[in-house]
Amino acid sequence: MKKIVLYILLLSGPVIAKAQFDKLKDSVVEVYGFVMTADSLQGIPAVSIIVKGRSAMGRGTISNDQGVFNIVLFKGDSLEFSSIGYKSKTVAVPTNINGNQYSMIQLMISDTFHLAMTIVKPRPTKEQFEREFVNTKVPDDDIEIARQNTDALKRRALYKTLPADAREASNTYLRQSAQRYSYQGQQPPQNIFSPLAWASFIQAWKRGDFKSSNN
C-alpha cells in the first residue's frame, strides 16, 4: 500500500509543481506606460515609480527622458508615482488582467507652492548706501586669520596665557634636570657677570617681556 501511495505522489509531483508555476506565472504582470503632465500632456522624465509596500526589496524604477517606464510586479500591487514639482499619485494594478502585460498612462498634476510676498526696496539715498557700505564689517577670511595668529605680539601674548602642554612641560623638566646634573657637586655659575646674559636681558626688556599682562 505504501509503495502505491509513493508511486502516486511521484506521478502527481510534476503536475502539482506545474500547476503552482502556472499560478505564479499568471500572477506576474509587466506594466509599461507613460507619465505625462495633466495640463500639457508632456512626458515627465526621472519620475520615481515604486511598488508600494515592496520598496525595501528594491522594487521600483524611473521614467526615461520621454516619460516612458517599464516594471514587473504582481497583480494587485500599487504603484506610487512621485516627482519634484508634482503631486504624488498612487495607482493600484487590477487583479483581473488577462495575460501578463498591462499598459497605462499616468497623468500628474503640478504641485504649486505659495510663498509669502517679499518686497525689495533700495536705500533711501546714495549717501546712506555709501556710508553703510563703508562701515559694513566684513568677516576675516582664512588668510587674514592666519596672518593675525602669526603676529609677533599675539604669539607673545598667547605664550604668556596659554598653559604648556605635556611635551613642553617634559622638555622644560628635562632641561632643568640636565642643567642641575651638570653642576652636581659644585656651585653653578652666576649669570650676573655674563655679557651674554645681560644682552638677552636687554633684548627681552625692549620687547616688553616684563610688562604686566593687564597692560
Give the side-chain half-sphere CA count within 13 A for 54: 16
Mean pLDDT over the full length of the chain: 79
CATH of domain 2-108: 2.60.40.1120
pTM: 0.45
What are the cell numbers at 170? 617634559
The boundaries of every CATH 2.60.40.1120 domain in the chain are 2-108
Q: In 3-state terms, the chain is what percent helix, strand and coil (to 5)? A: 40, 20, 35
Q: Which segments of the chain does DSSP mark as H helices, in order?
A: 2-27, 126-135, 142-149, 152-161, 166-182, 195-207
- The more confidently predicted of residues 85 and 196 is 85
Tens digits of residue pLDDT in 53-89: 765 556 789 999 999 999 998 888 999 999 988 999 9
Tens digits of residue pLDDT in 101-125: 899 999 999 987 777 888 887 767 8
Q: Given a cut of 70, is residue 200 above it in pLDDT? A: yes
Looking at residue 197, its amino acid is A
